[in-house]
């Protein structure tokens, strides 16, 4: 019966390996991702962005523009155009964001006014805390 | 009797297909109903320009346009020329913004309605200044073509800079230097494009990276339109640096795909092994 | 040794574990001429359990809203650790489960296991097959890709062939005129809670019938005279058969391992077989892809519908076929249990399989 015992032990080994090979991914699957869930917050001084002006930053690897709107306060929008990915520029005079690649036009809420973009610009949550503007 | 009936039913239903028009009927009934979403738009421009009555030199335009990159991105006649594509009577009306064929010197503004960034750089360049001051010089169509004379606008690529085209007004030397300056960056961007296609074929969705690459490509090529070699040289490093994170991501993704394949192969072998062992164990033991 | 024995004794005193294990596993016997096809029922259960477990785990990260569905699936594939493994298992598993269910039904049919007294077992099993197909249909929409959206659009328009109620049925399925987030919501509810409960209930019923009536003996090699007429209830036992454990259990484990090997074979070497380019593009209601095709298990009925010029006749025909399939044990009245001795039925059976294969391949390349 030596062969049968050997086979039984082999089966046990293979079975255990399989359980571990599934167990490890299962644990990692359910575990929260390290660090990435911590959305880093971007803190900007209010004084850095005068009324009607804007400033560009990088937030979570995305280029972001923060505009100090004359009537509605701060807004943080992704600069990535939703058409093909070029970065929009803020035209203060016309109060629009213009994409230089195919003339996609957004208003200062990020909504599409004209041109090829299919969706509005991604918006990021903004809070004003005292002297600071907190994005994210 | 019952299964005889059943089998007759199945066998007889096939010849019914020989009745002509089944395919069209199905497509008509299933696919072209309004819920299908896509509306077949009535385009008045195309309708006239493909008609028999049309002058041959205008009749080829829709065909040329259909080969172009504009067509691939749903840019149609009225987007550039204005007019109303839904109403044949107003399709060429000034009231609806129709501008007709632009004059040679007005071509940059015509294309610049959409290609805003490039227009800006072009007007500041030697080419743009030449055109505006003397009326002679290259406009967009000179290098990129149009739907005239059976040409069509292709996707931009570095070989648009070539001796035949660029020695019309001056020696090819300057253009050659420009091409060399652009070469490395363009090559890297081409490699990334190819990497993206391969990744897509393997089922990975990389929209963010594609957008980032498009932005870098667009910025780089817009910069070229200044035809200022020193400026391009100065900023080439900047662009190469911007490409690096994307290259890294693509490399890592291929690495990850290899890992996945190895991991599942390992699991497959484990199961196969266990199956074999169980099979051998299950044979009746020799008494 | 010591510890194992102690644990078993603890259970033995409370629930009579030894007795239970003996009756269920060692004394329970299978017919001598049982073959691997008999294990397919259990393989189906294994396949279903894999779908349930991977499905529940995917549920942890999936978001059933049209604005987030596609992205959440991409995140599962690319960001979440080993999310790809679970998704691939779920996708490949769904197609493999359809195959296994089909093989199980075909082999039961071939061996006459649907005959009296097992008509209810067959009918319940047939219902489970249909539920499996609805599972596949509803699950297909969830990733909200071009393929999902348009295949669902085509399939939910099929009921429109019926006069009067057709449009209504179609609108109920879609939750509106078109496939939208409302459709996603109801397909999600179906896929994740309603169908699993129904399937589970049917499965319990099915297994109860199987155990209560006893395993059927394959009719091959047994002359028809030996079959006693079924007039009163009795559980069919096989006193001269092999013990369930270890004989049959080992066969079942082998088939289970085979199933998993095949699944991982596909995941390793053909990871994009069930995920073509359109399955990796987000749904765009304004752009119909050039080739809309349902998933492979629907290709045969799809092709059949395309061949029959009148939509209404086509769908009615298919419904009739489904009814015949579910009620077959009640329609089959011949006494002979061995299909090999019934040339007409044998021919019909193989002809049906061939037609199905031809229609499927045709539907794929048309």
Task: Please report where in the chains the tokens 């080969």 appear, as a residue.
Answer: B67
pLDDT band at B39 (very low <50, low <70, confident <90, very high): very low
pLDDT band at B264 (very low <50, low <70, confident <90, very high): very high
What's the pLDDT tens digit per position in C323-349?
A: 998 998 888 878 777 888 888 888 989
% of chain C exceeding 90 in pLDDT = 40
pLDDT band at C195 (very low <50, low <70, confident <90, very high): very high
Determine whether the interchain pair B37/C286 forms a contact, defined as Cβ–Cβ distance below 8 Å.
Answer: yes
C residues 22..61 contacting A (CB < 8 A) = 57, 60
**Between B and C, how many CB-CB pairs are < 8 A?**
132
CB-CB: which of A17, A85, A100 is closest to B211? A85
Q: Which chains pack against C, by 3+ Cβ pairs within 8 A?
A: A, B
Buried b (16+ CB within 10 A) or exposed e, B56-73: eeeebbbebbeebebbee
Contact assessment for residue A128 and residue A74, using Cβ atoms and an 8 Å cutoff:
yes
Determine whether the interchain pair B214/A115 forms a contact, defined as Cβ–Cβ distance below 8 Å.
Answer: no
* Rg of chain C taking only CA atoms, in angstroms: 23
Residue B22 has what pLDDT?
Answer: 41
ipTM: 0.87
- Measure the CA–CA gap between C354 and B243, rounded to whole angstroms: 55
Of A32-36, A85-89, B243-247, least confident by mean pLDDT is A32-36
**Between A and B, how many CB-CB pairs are < 8 A?**
64
Beta strands, E only, C156-267: 242-243
A33 contact residues in C (CB cutoff 8 A): 79-81
Of A93-97, B258-262, C304-308, least confident by mean pLDDT is C304-308
- Please give, rounded to a whole number of angstroms, the shortest distance from the CA of B249 to a CA of chain C: 12
C residues 300..329 contacting B (CB < 8 A) = 304-309, 311, 317, 320-321, 324
Check pLDDT > 70 for residue C227.
no
Determine whether the interchain pair B268/C355 forms a contact, defined as Cβ–Cβ distance below 8 Å.
Answer: no
pLDDT band at B19 (very low <50, low <70, confident <90, very high): very low
C residues 60..89 contacting A (CB < 8 A) = 60, 79-83, 85-86
Among B9, B13, B252, pick the best mutation site for testing chain C contact (most C Cβ within 10 A).
B13
- Please give, rounded to a whole number of angstroms, the shortest distance from the CA of A15 to a CA of chain C: 11
What's the pLDDT tens digit per position in C251-272?
A: 899 999 999 999 999 999 998 8
Residue A132 has what pLDDT?
Answer: 83
* Token reading at A31: 């575990």
Q: H or E element: which one contains A129?
A: strand A126-129
- Measure the CA–CA gap between C72 and C65, rounded to whole angstroms: 10
Contact assessment for residue A65 and residue A99, using Cβ atoms and an 8 Å cutoff:
no
Residue C126 has what pLDDT?
Answer: 94
Residue B38 has what pLDDT?
Answer: 43
- Sorted by sequence, the CB contacts under 8 Å of residue B63 that are 6+ apart come out as B50, B150
| Span C125-143, average pLDDT | 94
CB-CB: which of B2, B204, B278 is closest to C254? B278
| Averaged pLDDT of chain B | 81
Residue A1 has what pLDDT?
Answer: 66
Among A4, A29, A61, A122, pick the best mutation site for testing chain C contact (most C Cβ within 10 A).
A29
Give the largest CA-CA distance in chain C.
Answer: 73
Determine whether the interchain pair C81/A26 forms a contact, defined as Cβ–Cβ distance below 8 Å.
Answer: no
Residue B15 has what pLDDT?
Answer: 47
Residue B251 has what pLDDT?
Answer: 93
> In degrees rounded to 5, what are phi and psi of residue A54?
-140, 165
């Amino acid at each position: 019966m030596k062969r049968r015992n050997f086979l039984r032990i082999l089966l046990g080994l293979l079975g255990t390996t399989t359980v571990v090979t599934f167990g490890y991914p299962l644990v990692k699957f359910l575990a929260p991702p390290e660090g990435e869930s911590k959305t880093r917050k971007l803190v900007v001084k209010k004084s850095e962005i005068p009324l009607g002006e804007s400033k560009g930053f990088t937030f979570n690897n995305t280029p972001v523009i923060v505009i100090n709107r004359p009537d509605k306060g701060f807004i943080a929008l992704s600069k990535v155009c939703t058409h093909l990915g070029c970065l929009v520029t803020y035209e203060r005079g016309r109060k629009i964001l213009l994409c230089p690649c195919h003339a996609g036009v957004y208003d200062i809420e990020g909504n599409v006014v004209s041109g090829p973009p299919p969706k509005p610009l991604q918006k990021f949550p903004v809070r004003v805390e005292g002297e600071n503007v907190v994005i994210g | 009797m019952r299964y005889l009936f059943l089998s007759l039913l199945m066998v007889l239903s096939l010849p019914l297909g020989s009745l002509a028009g089944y395919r069209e009927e199905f497509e008509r009934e299933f696919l072209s109903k309004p819920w299908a979403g896509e509306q077949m738009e009535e385009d008045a421009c195309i309708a006239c320009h493909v008609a028999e009555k049309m002058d041959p030199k205008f009749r080829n335009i829709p065909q040329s346009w259909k080969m172009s990159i504009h067509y691939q991105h749903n840019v149609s006649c009225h987007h550039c020329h204005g007019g109303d594509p839904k109403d044949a009577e107003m399709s060429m009306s000034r009231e609806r913004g129709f501008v007709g064929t632009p004059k040679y010197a007005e071509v940059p503004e015509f294309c610049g309605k959409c290609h805003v960034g490039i227009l800006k750089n072009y007007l500041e360049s030697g080419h743009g200044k030449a055109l505006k001051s003397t009326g002679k010089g290259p406009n967009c169509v000179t290098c990129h073509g149009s739907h005239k004379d059976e040409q069509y606008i292709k996707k931009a690529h570095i070989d648009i800079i070539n001796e035949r085209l660029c020695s019309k007004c001056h020696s090819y030397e300057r253009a050659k230097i420009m091409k060399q300056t652009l070469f490395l960056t363009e090559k890297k961007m081409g490699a990334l494009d190819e990497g993206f296609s391969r990744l897509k074929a393997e089922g990975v969705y990389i929209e963010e990276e594609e957008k980032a690459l498009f932005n870098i490509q667009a910025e780089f090529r817009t910069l070229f339109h200044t035809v200022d070699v020193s400026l391009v040289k100065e900023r080439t490093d900047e662009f190469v640096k911007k490409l690096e994170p994307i290259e890294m991501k693509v490399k890592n993704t291929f690495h990850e795909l290899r890992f996945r394949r190895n991991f599942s192969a390992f699991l497959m072998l484990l199961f196969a092994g266990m199956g074999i062992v169980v099979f051998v164990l299950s044979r009746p033991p020799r008494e | 040794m010591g510890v194992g024995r102690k644990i078993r004794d603890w259970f033995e005193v409370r629930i009579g574990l030894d007795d239970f294990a003996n009756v269920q596993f060692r004394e329970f016997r299978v017919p001598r001429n049982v073959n691997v096809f008999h294990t397919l029922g259990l393989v189906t259960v294994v396949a279903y359990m894999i779908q349930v477990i991977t499905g529940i785990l995917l549920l942890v990260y999936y978001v059933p809203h049209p604005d987030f569905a596609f992205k959440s699936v991409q995140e599962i594939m690319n960001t979440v650790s080993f999310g790809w493994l679970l998704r691939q298992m779920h996708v490949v598993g769904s197609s493999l489960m359809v195959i296994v269910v089909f093989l199980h039904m075909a082999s039961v049919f071939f061996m006459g296991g649907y005959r009296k007294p097992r008509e209810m077992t067959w009918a319940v099993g047939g219902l489970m097959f249909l539920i499996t197909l609805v599972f596949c249909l509803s699950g297909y929409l969830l990733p909200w890709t071009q393929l999902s959206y348009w295949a669902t659009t085509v399939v939910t328009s099929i009921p429109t062939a019926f006069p009067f109620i057709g449009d209504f049925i179609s609108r109920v399925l879609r939750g509106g005129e078109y496939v939208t987030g409302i459709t996603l919501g109801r397909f999600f509810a179906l896929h994740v809670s309603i169908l699993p409960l129904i399937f589970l209930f049917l499965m319990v019923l099915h297994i109860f019938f199987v155990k209560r009536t006893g395993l059927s003996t394959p009719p091959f090699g047994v002359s028809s005279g030996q079959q006693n007429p079924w007039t009163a209830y009795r559980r069919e036992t096989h006193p001269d058969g092999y013990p369930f454990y270890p004989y049959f259990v080992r066969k079942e484990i082998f088939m289970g391992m085979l199933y998993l090997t095949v699944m991982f074979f596909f995941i390793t070497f053909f990871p994009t077989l069930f995920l073509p380019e359109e399955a990796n593009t987000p749904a765009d209601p304004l752009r119909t892809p050039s080739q809309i095709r349902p998933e492979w298990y629907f290709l045969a009925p799809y092709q059949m519908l395309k061949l029959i010029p009148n939509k209404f006749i086509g769908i009615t025909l298919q419904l009739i076929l489904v009814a015949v399939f579910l009620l077959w044990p009640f329609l089959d009245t011949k006494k002979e249990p061995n299909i090999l001795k019934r040339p007409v039925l044998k021919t019909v059976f193989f002809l049906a399989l061939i037609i199905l294969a031809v229609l499927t391949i045709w539907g794929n390349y048309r």
